[in-house]
Structure formats: structure tokens, C-alpha cells
Amino acid sequence: MIRHEDVFPIGKITKAHGLRGEVNFMFTNDIWDRADCDYLICDIDGILVPFYIEEYRFKNDSAALVKFEDLDSVETVEFLLGCDVYLEKKYAEEQDEDEMPLNYFIGFRVEEDGKFIGTITDIDDSTENWLFIIEKEDGSEAIIPAHEDFIAGLDKEKKVMTVDLPIGLI
């Protein structure tokens, strides 16, 4: 069984395409193409279900047309429309650290000088400089730049990101 803590979001299936069961997949990162993974995981009513890719082709930098095995008509893919799509974290871990998608770090604990700051709950990519949204222990939010210059270390096994931030940033 695939668990939510073992995956990270990579996009959404937006609509059917054509008559033979292709779907339009809007993705936030092309790691699924670079990783050696032959399936995508869809959230079907809260249950994570793998669907094996028969073929795909890119439409542009953020969309692809995907054909899943055994789904051969518009009617057979209707239940996928609007579904969030995930990839297992193990495939991101195989990538070089500078190629890892930022949403992989959602759920990581953030520490500085051995002190717990909070947990990454979201990524703000609405500006040119992406930001980690961190929920602190008291329930308040902290925002820090998602930039490699501020990341001092990563423990992927323990899901801990150690940061070195300028004084007064938080």
C-alpha cells in the first residue's frame, strides 16, 4: 500500500484528450520523466493508486499527454480527471540534490543550530524566488527563501533540513 508520507505531489490530471484514453497531465516538475519510474500515482478519493504509463508525449514545459495501460477510452479515464498526481520520494532521492523538486521537502523538519524552527508545509512559487512555508510549534508561520545558499544540510532519512539563515530573517 502506498502511503501519503512516501510520496510528493508533481501535478494534476486536468482533462481527457482524444478518444483513446489519453489524459492531459499538468506537472510542476519533470522529475517523473527523468526518474526510472514507469508509473504515476493518482489520488482517488484519498487512496493512492499507481497507474502504469503506456506512452506519453510532452505538449510544452508543463504539460504532457499520458496514456495509461488498460485505459483505452474517454469513458475509462473520466474518474482520473481532476486527480492529484504523485511520485514516490525514492525517485527524487535518486536525483542529484540540485535537481530535487522543492515539493519533495514538504514535511521536513527545519532546524538551525540544533534548534527546531518548524515543519515545511508548503512551497510558495508565485514569485521568481520560491519560498518554504514553515509551520512553527506555536502554530504561526515562518517564510524562508528556498535557496541552496541557506540549506546547510539534509538528512533525507530523518526528514530534517538544517538551515543557516541571516540573523533576523525569521
Residue 103 CA: distances (Å) to CA of 11, 20, 54: 11, 32, 26
Answer yes or no: do 38 and 92 share one domain: yes
> Is residue 118 one of the residues assigned to a domain?
yes
Q: How many domains does the chain have?
A: 2
Q: Is residue 141 part of a domain?
A: yes
Query: Does residue 110 sit in the same domain as residue 29?
Result: no
**Domain boundary residue among 99, 131, 149?**
99
**Rounded to two decimals, what is the model's pTM?**
0.68
Q: Which of 84, 99, 114 is the last residue of a domain?
A: 99
Q: Which of 99, 116, 138 is the last residue of a domain?
A: 99
**Residues 58 and 126 placed together within one structural domain of the fold:** no
Q: Using an 8 Å Cβ cutoff, are 157 and 141 in contact?
A: no
Q: Which residues pair with 72 in a beta bridge?
A: none
Within a domain: residue 144? Answer: yes
pLDDT at 11: 93
Expressed as residue numbers, the domain containing 137 is 106-163
* Residue 170 counted as domain residue: no
- Per the structure block, which three cell numbers stand in for 45? 478519493
Q: pLDDT at position 99, please?
A: 65
The single residue listed with the C-alpha cell 524562508 is: 144
Are 122 and 67 spatial neighbours (Cβ–Cβ below 8 Å)?
no
Cell matching residue 108:
521536513
pLDDT in tens, the chain (170 residues): 899 888 989 999 999 998 999 999 999 877 888 887 899 999 999 999 999 999 999 999 889 999 999 999 999 999 999 999 999 988 877 766 666 677 788 889 999 988 999 999 988 878 788 899 999 989 899 999 988 888 888 888 888 999 998 887 77
Q: Strand, helix or coil at 71?
A: coil
- Residue 27 sits in the same domain as residue 90: yes
pLDDT (0 to 100) of residue 50: 97
* The pLDDT value given to residue 120: 93
Helix (H, G, I), strand (E, B) or coil at 155: strand
Q: What is the CATH number of the domain that holds 110?
A: 2.30.30.240
Residues 116 and 94 in one domain: no
Residue 168 lies in a domain: no
CATH number at 17 reads 2.40.30.60
The SS3 of residue 160 is strand
**153 and 95, same structural domain?**
no
User: What does the alpha-carbon distance between residue 124 and residue 143 come to, in Å, rounded to a whole number?
Assistant: 9
pLDDT at position 114 is 87
**Do 60 and 110 share a domain, yes or no?**
no
Q: Which residue type is seen at 162?
A: T
Statement to judge: residues 65 and 115 lie in one domain: no
Same domain, 120 and 67: no
